[in-house]
């Protein structure tokens, strides 16, 4: 099985965020990047990005499925 990698630009495009956001997430440990051994650029595993997207979708579905009852007293 061959692992495919995405550049920071491609990963940002798939996630719908700016590359700077991915750099910040990497620093904060939200979505860790790998480093290209030749040029030290950040790269992301394609399967890691897909898993991250699934987690986001699952959390949105959970939030949308909840009903919050606000009573005006």
pLDDT of residue 16: 93
Per-residue pLDDT reduced to its tens digit, 12-23: 999 999 999 999
pLDDT of residue 70: 47
Q: Do 18 and 12 form a contact (C-beta atoms < 8 A)?
A: yes
pLDDT of residue 59: 80
Total domain count for the chain? 1
pLDDT of residue 42: 95
Asked, for residue 53, whether it belongs to a domain, the answer is: yes
pLDDT of residue 66: 58
Return the half-sphere exposure (C-beta side, CA atoms, 13 A cut-off) of residue 61.
6
Asked, for residue 11, whether it belongs to a domain, the answer is: yes
Per-residue pLDDT reduced to its tens digit, 28-70: 999 999 999 999 999 999 999 999 999 888 887 776 665 545 4
Q: What is the CATH number of the domain that holds 35?
A: 1.10.1660.10
Q: Which domain holds residue 24?
A: 5-57
Asked, for residue 44, whether it belongs to a domain, the answer is: yes
């Amino acid at each position: 099985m061959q692992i495919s990698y995405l550049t920071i630009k491609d990963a940002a495009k798939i996630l719908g965020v700016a590359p700077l956001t991915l750099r910040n997430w990497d620093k904060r440990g939200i979505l860790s990047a790998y480093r290209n051994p030749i040029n030290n650029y950040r790269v992301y595993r394609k399967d890691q990005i897909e898993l991250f997207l699934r987690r986001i979708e699952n959390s949105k579905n959970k939030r949308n499925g909840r009903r919050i009852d606000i009573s005006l007293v």
